[in-house]
Structure formats: structure tokens, C-alpha cells
Structure 1
Amino acid sequence: MDNDEPLEPETKDEPETKPTSQNSDETLYCEAEASVAVEKEKPAQESSETDLEIEDTEKFFTTRQNELYLEACRLMSVVPVSYFLRNMEESYMNLNHHGLGPNGTKAIAIALVSNTSVVTLELADNGLMEEGILSLLEMLQENYYLQELNVSDNDLGFKGAKIISEFLQRNTSSLWNLQLSGNNFRDESAELLCQALAANYQIKTLDLSHNQFSDKGGEYMGQMLALNVGLQSLDLSWNHFYIRGAVALCNGLRANGTLQKLDLSMNGFGNEGATALGEVLRLNSSLVYLDISINDISNEGISKISKGLEFNESLKVLKLFLNPMSMDGAVLLILSIKRNPKSKMEEIDISNVLVSEQFLKILDGVCAIHPQLDVVYKAVQGLSAKKTVLLWANPMKLIQSYADQHKITVLDFFKSLSPDGKMTMPVGNFRKAIILQDKVPLNLYQVRELVKKLSDKPDTVNFSLLKTVKP
């Protein structure tokens, strides 16, 4: 050919692609990712990677995470949260009360898509609205490291409940702890959430307290509990469950075999609801913790609960604070434990009830059979000052005196109570061991005082705290 120009493959001009006009999360995620400059990978060295190279890689990843968040904030036109930038490598992130709004939340969600550090995210009282909660839940479809989410007090309402229920139906995230307290959820929201939870097995801990559920919501909750196989802890306190809702909820509990902790305080169960609860306690073998404080339950309802406790083999904590019961009801409770040789009850809270010395004698008899039991009451009527002093003698002084006489340390004394000599013990096991030991006789008041001093977290005593406890 006469033409001296080199031949080149024929190409066509590619049409320019313009970003879609929709303000979608997907577009924002892509724009934020694309705007962060990424260095080309260096050729692999023959020698193995050094610690310095690993640190450089981690530093590079953190820097890129920060840049991604800053770019997301620019796209969303929001001010970056300095606390978030500083703590992106921590497992616990507390952004409660930061006024993020939906756009600020969306920027956080974009940055967390690829984050592998944050396990717990607190976002209570941030005005998330539907857009914010949607961004968070879309992020959770990609992030399999985040496990606990608190979006309480965000007034999510029905639209928010709909978004959350659709997310729960998918069962695809690693989330197991979800806090939804104070979101103005009503019965129509309860219906959506319960439909999703009926088939959800991922969520283990759920907080729906301080909402607006009434009896119809109680019916939905009961239906859900009869089918759910995942929930282990449920908080329904500060709602509006009365007789019909209470009975429906209890009907569901009778069929449930996984729930261990249930908070129903500040509702209106009354004696009819207490009767239904008594039947639940007779049949249920999974509940370990039950709070029915402030539910207008009198001695009549307490007697029904006591009947159930005579057969229950799982419950350890029962809270009945501020119910209109008297000492007669308190006697019924502890006698029901005495009649049940398989009872595991460790704590009964009736701390608004005045008891008598006769009650204390009955309680001593019950504790002889169940030494792990502690009953918290208000005070003892007519107790003399001398007896009060004897009852409240400092237990640490008594133990220190014994240790000095036998030339051992106080720590040695406490470790001798543990079968394996460990520094920690479950509270129930500790109570049982220290009541049964005969080296330093202690009464129930003194044991309770020791538990208070040695507990650094619920349900566990830690002997290493003895360094801070002085006789």
C-alpha cells in the first residue's frame, strides 16, 4: 500500500457516562470510593513481609478509611465527626446524641462498609429518620463485623419499623443485638416487626422498651414468641400491655423454648396477667430472668406466680419491685421455693415490702435448703437497734480476723470457696459456698454486702477486687 501511516485497530468513541440523577446510596458509595486515591501495589519482595511492612499496611488502611469518610461527608455536605475519625480502629463506637441526622448517618454508613474494627455502634438520639436507618441497614448487608447496633430514641415510627422489618426478614447480617427503645412504635409497627422476627434466628437481644405497644401489640408479640427460635433477651418494659395483651403474650411464652431474659416492668399486667405468668412459670424451662416490677400485682396475683414457682426449674432472678403486695405475699413466694427442691432461684426483689422477724425465720429455713437464694426487702419491722448492729457487722472484719488467726491471706480464704481455685465465681455459687462454709459464719445481710463489694459485673464475683476492699 502507498499509505505509509501505521495501521491501528479501528476504535469508536465511547459515549460519556454521566452519573445518574438519582440520589441513591449506591451512587454515593461509588463516588466516595472512586474519589480516594489508591497507590499502585509495589512489586512483591522475595523475602517475607516484615512487621514494619504490616504496620505500614495497617496505617495505609486506616488512612484510607479516614479519607473515605471525609469524602463521604463532602458528598453529603455534613461536618465530619472528629470522635468517629479518631476511633475507627476501636471495637466500640459511641455516637449517641451527636445530632447526625440522616445525611451524617449516611456518611458514617459509607465509611463503615469496609470497616473491620467496629463491633458495637451506638447511635441513640441522632434524628436518623427513615433515610438514616436505611443507610445503616444497607451497610450491614456488606459489613459482617458489626454485631451490636443501638438506634434508640430516633422517633423512627411506622416507616422506620417497615424498613427494619424488611431487613430482619433477610437474616443476612452478623447483627445479634438490636436496641430500638423509644422509637414511637405503635401496634401497626409491632405487627411488621413481629412478622419479621417470627422467622428471624439472627437477633439474640432485642430492646423494644419505651414504645407505644398496647394490647393488640401484645397479641402480635405472643404470636411471634410462639414461633421465634433466636431471641434470648427481650425488653418490653414501659409499654401499655394490660390484661388482654398480657394473656396473649404469655400464651406465646408457653410455647417458647429459647428466651432466657424478659423485662415486662412498667406495664399493667394486674392479677389476671400474673395468673397467666404463673402458668408460664409452671411450664417454661428456659427463662432465667424475669422482671415484672410495677405491674399492679397484689397478693392475689403473687399467689398464682408462687404456684408456678413450685414447679419451675430454670428461673434465677425474679423482680417484683413496687407491686402492691404485702408480707403475706412475700411469705408465699419464699415458701414456693422451699417446696421446690429443683428450684434455681438466686434473687427475689421485693424491695418495697416491710417484713417481720418471723419472716426472717422462715427465710432462714428456706435458705438452709436453697443457700444460693437472696431475698431483697425494704426493712424489718420492729427490729431492735442491738439486733440491727449484729446483723450488719462488717463481714470483711470477720474474715480478716479468721485469716489472721490461721496465718492465711483473705484471698486464700475466698479462693478456698471456689472448687477450681479461680478468681471469679457466679454469684449464686458464691452465695451457696459462703453460706455452707463453717469457718466464718455469716448471715444473709453480710453475704449480700460481700456480693456488692466483689461484683464487677452482673452475676459474677471477682476476688481480685479484694485489693480495693478494706475491713
Structure 2
Amino acid sequence: MGELGEQLETLSLEASKVSPVQLESEDYDTDLEFEDIAKASTKKDLSEMYIKACQQEGIVPVSYFIRHINDTHIELSHHGLGPKSTSAIAISLKSNTSITHLSLEDNWIMEEGLVHLMDMMRVNCYIQDLNLSHNHLGVQGSQIIADMLLENVSLQRINLAQNEFKDESAKHFAEAFSANFRVSELNLSHNEFCEEGGANLGQMLAANEGLQVLDLSWNHIRMKGAIALSAGLQVNDTLKVLNLSYNGFGNEGALALGEALKVNTSIQHLDISCNRINNEGVRLLCKGLDTNETLRVLKLSRNPLSVEAALFLLTSITKNPENKVEELDISNVLVNAQFLSRLETACRSRPELHIIYAGKQGFTARKLAARPDPMKVIQNYLDERKLRLIDFFKKMDKDGSMRIPISDFCRHISLAGLPLDGAQMEALLQTLDKEQTGSVDYRDLVDSRKKMVKEHREKLRRKERRERQERQRSQRALRSFHNAVRALTPPPAPKVAAGGSASSAHLSVTSLSSWYQEGEAKTNSSILYNQSGIFEGARSTESPENDRYYSSQGSMGSPCISGPPSSHSVTRDASHQDL
């Protein structure tokens, strides 16, 4: 038995000395045995490298990672790795050629571990899908990731949700994605992007030519950030899915999105749920839906909408035969019979149309006709008959005392045919006989008419002021949108001489201050209206480029003046000259 054991050991040693070339030269029916040997050897080497790195860091190796180190998908979410364990994993992944999908969600990687991980991503050209969500990376982490994106050539999908990124982080990503066109899916949801961040992300959309899916839900993008992001969407021609839910776009953002949808020809899925968009905002959004021919899914749930908005949307979708909307989500809206009837008619010609609504108990809001001021009714009666108030009163005052009993006053009002009901008469008598003397004095009647005229004029002034503010708000939003589009649109390609060549030039993302500035406008900031109420924005007389951008103060902000574009800033394309 001892001799047999020595012979087997000798044979095994000789077999181990045989090279792969010698194995291939043998007449084998399959090479699976050799591949298994090679994989086992690679796994052993990578595992030993990982274990050695863990020993140097003084941490316990993750057994799951060792067992699956040769798999294509590695799921290490919620493992509590921390910076040191992440660094050890990154060392072993530098030479790994198997893993294509790596998930490290919720591991408190932080900046320290991210540095080593991004160093690995610079040299690893096999990982295509990376999940780093919920890892407390912060602003410094966004800078590290942005630097990596400028060098990595394999990454196609990256999830960076819930990482405490702020507006400055958006600037880092804008710079990175102005050069990286390989990433097609980007998730930046549940972060802390505000108005400035939205503006930077708008620049990112305008410059990038690779993103197809972008998730910006659960941020704080509103006002000028929403407008600039919409401007970037108008310039972009590759994005297909955009999630903007839970931000706060409001009606101004809806207006800007509507303008973008008029031009954009790539977006197919738009989610603007829970964005404080009301019926008026939907009406503005529908101006873009009227002409859009690519959008297929529109989500508007959890917005303060009524059946009137549902009717706006259905009409906008169905009146354009080229409209492609297949799914409309208004799941919190109660509809009525009128809407259902129109939907049934629409589905006959478009059976693919699917609208999600809450139920069938909705109603169209109808304001009850307010009872007119009784003094206004009396004044109208006098105007129609060209009578004076004193003449009207003298017909009731038989003794000329300029005071008559309430019963006689009511009887004459009824005989004159004035359309006053019981409630109006009671209100009129309470005004005319405040001291409850049982009679109506002519002077009280005159004072009551003066008060009515004054209140009516004040009501008209308030109404005009509200309408003027609404027009002003819309015009400011629209002007800001067009300014942003002009700033984000790449210049027209230069003409090439015969025999020459022109290199494709991409938009260079500049700092946010290159296209708007904060500050109160002292001059050239008034808003003028002509007699018909048409907006005539006062413009600078120096240069047409001195258009205004509006900050977020007030309803749409106070007017701010942006300086003329510098020599290196971006000018708009000739196709946008009429905007």
C-alpha cells in the first residue's frame, strides 16, 4: 500500500507540471476540465488577495464575497462593510474579470472607502452596473465619483440615491457627464438638490448625449431650478425616461415642461407626481402635449387636481392624432360621467390608451351665483331709468321729512319691481337702520351707496391686480425658460471649407453664474402693460442679450439682470432664434 501511494503521488506531481499548451495538444474531446481548473485557480488567487488585504486592514473577510467572487452579479447590500472592508474588496476587484454587476447599497462606505473603490473603477473595465446608494458619500464623494466618470469606459448604470448630495454635487456631475456618454442610467433620487442644483442638472442634460434614464425624484428642485432643468430637457435628444416626482415644480415648472415637450423628440416616460401642480399648471402643461409625438407615459398622481384637469389632459391627448400617450396616471382624481363618456369615445379610436383614476364620484366645481349687493341692484334700477336717488326717495317720502318707515320702504321696493329677495332686503335694512329706529333716512341711503361704489371699485382693482400678477408670473417663467434654453444650446457647427474637416464640438459646461446672477434689478426691471393688458417687458437698451433671469423670491421671484454672454459662453442655435 505504501508503494502504491508513492506512485499516485508521483503521477499527480507530474500531471501538475504539464502546461496548458501540452494539455491542449492532447486529443481531448472537451476542454471543460481545463476551464474549471483555470477558474478555480483564478478564484483561489482572488480570494487569497482579498484575504490578505483584510489581514492588512485588520478586518474579518466577508464569506459571501469569497464564495461568489467569480460570479457576474455580486449583492453586498446592507452588509455593514464600512470604509476598510470596502477598501479590501476594491483591491481584489482590480484584477477581477467576472463581476459585471456590483451592489454595495447601505454600507457606510463614506469618503475613505470611496477613494479606494473609485481607484478600482478606473482600471476595472468589466463592471457595468454599480449601486452605491445610501452610503453617506456627501459633496466630497460626488467629486471623487465625478473624477472617476471622466476615466471609466465600461460603466453603464450607476445608482447614487440617498447620499446627501447637495447643489455643489450637481455641479460635479454636470462636469462629469459633459464628457462621459457611456452611462445610460443614472439615479440621483433622495438627495438634497435645490434650485441651483436643478440648474446645474439642466446643464448636464443639455451637454450629455448618452443618458437614457434619469431619476431625480425626492429632491427639492423648484422655481428657477425647475425651469433650467426643463430647458435642459428641451435641448437634450437622448433621454427617454425622466422621474421628477416629489420635488415641487409647481405651475411655473409645469409651464416650462410644457414648453420643453413642444420641442423634445426623445422623452417617452415622464413622472411629475406630487409636484404641487394644480389645474392651471395642467393647462399650461397641455400646451406641450398638444404637439408632442413621442411621450407614452405621463404620471401626475398626488397633485392637487380635479376632474377639470382630467378633462384638460384627455382633450389634449385625443385631439392630436399623432399623440402617442398610452398611460396617464391621475390616480388621486375623482372623475365624473362627462369624463367617462369622453374616455369611452377616445378608447374606440385608441384602444391602447389607459388612464388610471381614483373613482367615479368627481364633480366639476361650480361657483354659486353670489347675491349682488342690494344697493348695487337699486343703482342699476336707477341707471336703467335714468333716475336720481333723491327722486326715487321722494316718491316714497310723502311728507317730505326725508325719513320713511321701514314698512313703507319695503312696500315701495316691492311695487317698483326690484329683484331683491328676503335675505337681500334684510341685509339692506341692517345697513340703513343700524340704530334700529324703525325708519330709513335718506342720508343713510346716500352713505350706503357711496360705500357700495367704493367697495366695487376696490374689488375691480384687486381683480386686475391678481390678473396682472398671474400674467407677470407666467411671463417671468417663460422668459427665464427661454434664457436658459439660449444659454444651454450649443452653437451652430462652423462651416467647413472644401477639403477641410470639422471636429464635433460638444457643449462645455460652465459655472452656473455664467447664465444668471442673483441680485435686485435697480433699472430696466419694470413690467409694462398696455391698455389691453398685453405684457410689454422693459428691456435693456444696451444689448438684446441682457435678458433677465428671475430669482425665487415671491411668486416667481424678483427680477434679476444677467450680464451679456462672455466670449466662451454658449449661444443658442439658429433654430431657437424665434423662442
- Give the TM-score normalised by structure 1: 0.71
| Counterpart position of 1:103 | 84
TM superposition shift of 1:120: 1.1
Query: How far, CA to CA, are the matches of 2:20 and 2:232 in structure 1?
Result: 62
Q: 1:310 to 1:154 in 2, by over 3 A?
A: same
**SS in structure 1 of the partner of residue 328 of structure 2:** strand
| Counterpart position of 1:166 | 147
Task: Give, as a single letter, the amino acid of the residue that structure 2 aligns with 1:71.
Answer: K
TM superposition shift of 1:134: 1.6
TM superposition shift of 1:110: 1.4
TM superposition shift of 1:357: 2.4
Whether the aligned pair in 2 keeps the contact of 1:143 and 1:173 (CA below 8 Å) is: no
TM superposition shift of 1:44: 3.1
Whether the aligned pair in 2 keeps the contact of 1:218 and 1:245 (CA below 8 Å) is: yes
Identity of aligned residues (%): 48
Paired positions, count: 344
| Counterpart position of 2:49 | 68
Whether the aligned pair in 2 keeps the contact of 1:335 and 1:366 (CA below 8 Å) is: no
Whether the aligned pair in 2 keeps the contact of 1:122 and 1:150 (CA below 8 Å) is: yes
| Counterpart position of 1:283 | 263
Larger Rg: 2
TM superposition shift of 1:116: 2.1
Q: Are 2:36 and 1:42 aligned?
A: no
Query: How far, CA to CA, are the matches of 1:186 and 1:103 in structure 2?
Result: 25
Whether the aligned pair in 2 keeps the contact of 1:194 and 1:220 (CA below 8 Å) is: yes
Q: Deviations over 1:434-459 (max 9, x none)?
A: xxxxxxxxxxxxxxxxxxxxxxxxxx
Q: Are 2:119 and 1:138 aligned?
A: yes
Whether the aligned pair in 1 keeps the contact of 2:333 and 2:362 (CA below 8 Å) is: no
Structure 1: where are the runs of 5+ without partners?
Answer: 1-38, 384-471
Q: 1:361 to 1:84 in 2, by over 3 A?
A: same
Structure 2: where are the runs of 5+ without partners?
Answer: 1-15, 364-579
**SS in structure 2 of the partner of residue 141 of structure 1:** helix
Q: 1:41 to 1:262 in 2, by over 3 A?
A: farther
Whether the aligned pair in 1 keeps the contact of 2:307 and 2:362 (CA below 8 Å) is: no
Query: How far, CA to CA, are the matches of 1:338 and 1:186 in structure 2?
Result: 41
Q: 2:65 aligns with which of 66, 70, 84?
A: 84
TM superposition shift of 1:40: 7.3
Q: Deviations over 1:302-356 (max 9, x none)?
A: 0111121111111111110100010110011111111111111111000000111
Q: 2:157 aligns with which of 158, 173, 177?
A: 177
TM superposition shift of 1:63: 2.1
**SS in structure 1 of the partner of residue 102 of structure 2:** strand
Deviates more, 1:61-70 or 1:93-102: 61-70
Query: How far, CA to CA, are the matches of 1:377 and 1:122 in structure 2?
Result: 36
Q: Are 2:183 and 1:203 aligned?
A: yes
Q: Are 2:289 and 1:309 aligned?
A: yes
**SS in structure 1 of the partner of residue 125 of structure 2:** coil
Q: 2:33 aligns with which of 15, 39, 52?
A: 52
Query: How far, CA to CA, are the matches of 1:77 and 1:155 in structure 2?
Result: 23
Q: 1:53 to 1:361 in 2, by over 3 A?
A: same
**SS in structure 1 of the partner of residue 89 of structure 2:** helix
Where do residues 391-470 of structure 1 align in structure 2 (5 Å cutoff)? none
TM superposition shift of 1:48: 5.1
TM superposition shift of 1:244: 1.2
TM superposition shift of 1:139: 1.2
| Counterpart position of 1:412 | none
Query: How far, CA to CA, are the matches of 2:284 and 2:362 in structure 1?
Result: 30
Whether the aligned pair in 2 keeps the contact of 1:121 and 1:149 (CA below 8 Å) is: yes
Where do residues 262-273 of structure 1 align in structure 2 (5 Å cutoff)? 262-273=242-253
Q: 1:187 aligns with which of 167, 190, 210?
A: 167
Task: Give, as a single letter, the amino acid of the residue that structure 2 aligns with 1:318.
Answer: L
| Counterpart position of 1:229 | 209
Query: How far, CA to CA, are the matches of 2:19 and 2:293 in structure 1?
Result: 63
Query: How far, CA to CA, are the matches of 2:247 and 2:33 in structure 1?
Result: 59
TM superposition shift of 1:43: 6.6
| Counterpart position of 1:293 | 273
| Counterpart position of 2:311 | 331
**SS in structure 1 of the partner of residue 329 of structure 2:** strand
Task: Give, as a single letter, the amino acid of the residue that structure 2 aligns with 1:129.
Answer: M
Q: 1:382 to 1:278 in 2, by over 3 A?
A: closer
Whether the aligned pair in 2 keeps the contact of 1:140 and 1:173 (CA below 8 Å) is: no
Where do residues 345-424 of structure 1 align in structure 2 (5 Å cutoff)? 345-381=325-361
TM superposition shift of 1:54: 2.3
**SS in structure 1 of the partner of residue 333 of structure 2:** strand
Whether the aligned pair in 2 keeps the contact of 1:337 and 1:366 (CA below 8 Å) is: no
Whether the aligned pair in 2 keeps the contact of 1:229 and 1:257 (CA below 8 Å) is: yes
**SS in structure 2 of the partner of residue 268 of structure 1:** coil
Q: Deviations over 1:144-199 (max 9, x none)?
A: 211011111111111111111111222x3300111111111111111122111122
Task: Give, as a single letter, the amino acid of the residue that structure 1 aligns with 2:321.
Answer: P
Whether the aligned pair in 2 keeps the contact of 1:351 and 1:377 (CA below 8 Å) is: yes
TM superposition shift of 1:41: 7.0
Deviates more, 1:131-140 or 1:49-58: 49-58
Q: 2:232 aligns with which of 237, 241, 252?
A: 252
Q: 1:328 to 1:175 in 2, by over 3 A?
A: same
Whether the aligned pair in 2 keeps the contact of 1:263 and 1:290 (CA below 8 Å) is: yes
Q: 1:265 to 1:361 in 2, by over 3 A?
A: same
TM superposition shift of 1:213: 0.8
Query: How far, CA to CA, are the matches of 1:191 and 1:308 in structure 2?
Result: 29
TM superposition shift of 1:42: 2.8
